[in-house]
Amino acid sequence: MSSIPAPDSSSFLSRLLYYRYNELLFSDEHENSTKGLLKEPCRKDTNFLRDENVPVGLLIASKSMVHILVNPIVSLFTNRVGYGLPMFFGFLIMLMSIFMFAFGGSYVFLLLARMLQGIGSSFTVVAGLGMVASIYTDDYQRGKAMGIALGGVVLGVVAGPPFGSALYEFVGKASPFLFLAALALLDGALQLFILTPKISPAVTTPPSFCSLLKDPYILVAAGCLCIASMGIGMLEPTLPIWMLGSMCSPDWQIGLVFLPASLSYLVCTNVFGILSHKFGRWLCSLLGMVLLGICLLCMPLAFNILGLIAPIAGIGVSLGIVDSSIMPIMGYLVDLRHSSVYGGVYAISDIAFSFGYAIGPSAAGAIAKAIGFPMLMVIIGVLNIIYCPLCVLLRNPPMKEERRALLNHESIVPSRLMKKSQTQD
């Protein structure tokens, strides 16, 4: 009796596919053992692979679903106590989830760990982006800092799989997570000694969460994040399964298929954090969504892993452009139309991203099973292209009259806001 090699990636997705695949392979070999027949690793009947779309998609989407529920609460918390304390709470919760991943084995236990991870990352993301926006008030410097912050996020995605897979292969299942726990403890120590978490409520009156949700320009920007993230969210659970069924891809290809996107995203978030200020963040967002739509439409045209490299790298480029352009726009819209307290608007940003990442994987599994992976890519690719013209609305958003009156009354008008106000007059 034979089996396919163990997966090279330490991600749960690869391991789940590997164990489910081997289970089915062994059962088929047992049934045919009297005939001396062994199944090939790549099977023409891929129904058993398509059935994995839904549970894998739900596992991936669960973290984002938790973000949607928790972010409004985190927003209110940051308004009351500042950014440092929520960030440290996020570290503690994330550390707990890491140990659950290290020693958990069942699907339900890993699902709980994933949801706890979502709570911790909600505190970290909302507080972290709010802190960056409050420290860097100049639009150019803010865009540059946001690009570095977003690049830090993807650095873990780039370094995690190869390093984690090596530890998983040669040391054991828990070793990557224990190493990650050590890094998390180092991060917590740095937060304690450098950021010194303490209660520091907002000096100015923060905008209400409802008023931010009613702002049409914030909704347009949030829609860009949502639809763009929906594209990669639909790819994560369905592309590896499609590769197994149509390309007979070995496990090492499954583990590395998203590496071009991670590398290109890392570069573009740092580059376009600066360039988008020069060319116009609205224009960069529009072009990024067009490029994303085209790359998604090209995905089903690939016949092997080499054919996937260009569109996947293009997806990373487009996501890097959109994220590094929209995140500074969110802070700018709050400065321009509300008050300069950022917890609420970055909670909305993360909700938009999480909504796309929750709907994407959970819906993608059912859609791919019903109409196939190629049609799924057509749907989400066309949706990105249809939405992109709305980015034009972000070119010259007006200042609210009450915000203009407040700034004139206080005689404290940031130079970029005064210039914007004079242009509109």
Tokens encoding 16? 């789940």
Mean pLDDT, the chain, integer = 80
Q: Which domains does the chain have, with CATH numbers?
A: 47-394 (1.20.1250.20)
Q: Is the predicted pLDDT of residue 314 greater than 80, yes or no?
A: yes
pLDDT in tens, 105-150: 788 898 899 999 999 999 998 999 899 988 888 888 888 888 888 8
Q: Is the predicted pLDDT of residue 263 greater than 80, yes or no?
A: yes
pLDDT in tens, 21-34: 444 334 444 444 43
Percent of the chain with pLDDT over 90: 35
Show Cβ contacts of residue 55 under 8 Å, excluding neighbours closer than 6 positions.
Answer: 16, 107, 365
**SS3 helix, strand, coil % of the chain, rounded to 5?**
80, 0, 20
> C-alpha 374: how far from its chain's center?
23
Q: What is the mean pLDDT of residues 11-24?
A: 44
Q: What is the pLDDT of residue 31?
A: 42
Residue 14 CB coordination number (10 Å): 20
pLDDT in tens, 274-288: 898 889 999 999 999
Q: What is the mean pLDDT of residues 388-409?
A: 77
Question: Which of these, 90, 95, 166, lies nearest to 125 by C-alpha position?
Answer: 90
Q: What is the mean pLDDT of residues 32-59?
A: 53
Task: Enter the pTM of the model.
Answer: 0.76
Q: What is the mean pLDDT of residues 285-306?
A: 94
Residue 52 confidence class, pLDDT cut points 50, 70, 90: low
Q: What is the pLDDT of residue 198?
A: 82
Q: What is the pLDDT of residue 241?
A: 83
Q: What is the pLDDT of residue 25?
A: 38
Q: Is the predicted pLDDT of residue 46 greater than 80, yes or no?
A: no
Q: What is the pLDDT of residue 54?
A: 66
**94-129 core/surface letters (b: 16 or more CB in 10 A; e: else):** bbbbbbbbbebeeeeebbebbbbbbbbbbbbbbbbb
Counting Cβ atoms within 10 Å, is residue 159 exposed (0-12), middle (13-18) or buried (19+)?
exposed
Count Cα neighbours of 332 within 13 Å in the Cβ-side half-sphere.
Answer: 28
Q: What is the pLDDT of residue 27?
A: 40
Q: What is the pLDDT of residue 15?
A: 46
* Cα separation, 286 vs 39, whole angstroms: 48
Q: What is the pLDDT of residue 161?
A: 65
Residue 3 confidence class, pLDDT cut points 50, 70, 90: very low
Question: What long-range pairs does 261-264 form, CB within 8 A, spacing at least 24?
Answer: 261/232, 261/312, 261/313, 261/315, 261/316, 261/319, 262/154, 262/157, 262/158, 262/316, 263/158, 263/313, 263/316, 264/313, 264/314, 264/316, 264/317, 264/320
Q: What is the pLDDT of residue 6?
A: 42
pLDDT in tens, 331-366: 999 988 888 889 899 999 989 988 888 888 778 878
Question: Which of these, 346, 86, 120, 70, lies nearest to 198 by C-alpha position?
Answer: 86
Q: Is the predicted pLDDT of residue 319 greater than 50, yes or no?
A: yes
Q: What is the mean pLDDT of residues 41-66?
A: 65
* Cα separation, 330 vs 324, whole angstroms: 11
Task: Quickly tell me which residue has 């583990």 as its tokens.
Answer: 255
Q: What is the mean pLDDT of residues 257-268?
A: 87
Show Cβ contacts of residue 214 under 8 Å, excluding neighbours closer than 6 positions.
Answer: none
Q: What is the pLDDT of residue 401?
A: 60
pLDDT in tens, 372-387: 999 999 999 999 999 9
pLDDT in tens, 155-181: 776 667 667 767 777 888 888 899 999
